Amino acid sequence: MVSNINAREKNIVSIEDPVEYTLDDVNQVNVNSKIGLDFARGLRSILRQDPDVIMLGEIRDEETAHMAIRAAVTGHLVISTLHTNNSAESAIRLKDMGIPEYFIRDALVGIISQRLVRKICPYCKTEYQASPEEIVKLNLSSEQVLYKGKGCDRCNHKAYKGRTVIYDISYVNDYMRGFSKNSVLNVENSIEESRGATMKENCMELVKSGVTTYEEFLRMCL
């Protein structure tokens, strides 16, 4: 996401733990607990430089959460991660960290929720006829084939090689904001309502197209 924002025209700063990829034109700061430079302290010093975009590796404490939300409502684009089970839970997590609901509603632009699934090894991938259970669970037509690996030397007989992402995206737009303000819907329900194709649907497509297996679909517990 940061690479997709034109860094020449914008002042982009990141605080990461640790910096994983070096990005051109982005001022990247490493969290350093030895000298007390945590996310909260790093963010405080960065805000003095008034950047356009702030990438925060993770929001995991109340202080960072408050500063990140404040930065977002005062015109900075803040990109960060939260560890939750789904998109809607990110609002609950922020509320648990003491952020008032109206603040979350004003600050939040969108949420991308993602998990990793294993990919079928392309060297030993084979077709098989979908079972009655798979037909029901995946909404398949009766004659549909699915795919799995047999295991080979190239995948160390694991039948999988590499991983890919399954995701869903919720945009919290002005309509949703107004909607949740004037109704009994809280912000996590608004996120749920505004979500596009779900992670489950995304995963089902990957099973049908032979990228991953039904076994992986079940393992995701979607």
**Residues in contact with Zn ion by the rule CB under 5 A:** 121, 123-124, 152, 155
Minimal distance in Å, beta carbon 133 to Zn ion? 25
Cα–Cα distance for residue pair 200/220, rounded to 1 Å: 9
Which CB atom, from 123 or from 128, has the smaller least distance to Zn ion? Answer: 123
Q: Which helix (H) or strand (E) holds 132?
A: helix 132-137
Residue 146: other Cβ atoms inside 10 A: 22
Residue 124: other Cβ atoms inside 10 A: 19
Which CB atom, from 190 or from 213, has the smaller least distance to Zn ion? Answer: 213
Minimal distance in Å, beta carbon 204 to Zn ion? 23
Q: Which helix (H) or strand (E) holds 215?
A: helix 214-219
Which CB atom, from 57 or from 149, has the smaller least distance to Zn ion? Answer: 149
CA angle 172, 59, 27 (to 5 degrees): 95
Cα–Cα distance for residue pair 187/34, rounded to 1 Å: 38
Minimal distance in Å, beta carbon 163 to Zn ion? 15
Which CB atom, from 121 or from 191, has the smaller least distance to Zn ion? Answer: 121
Which CB atom, from 2 or from 152, has the smaller least distance to Zn ion? Answer: 152
Minimal distance in Å, beta carbon 129 to Zn ion? 21
Residues 146 and 213 sit within 8 Å (Cβ to Cβ):
yes
Minimal distance in Å, beta carbon 206 to Zn ion? 18
Instruction: Find out whether the peptide bond into 18 is cis, omega within 30 degrees of 0.
Output: yes
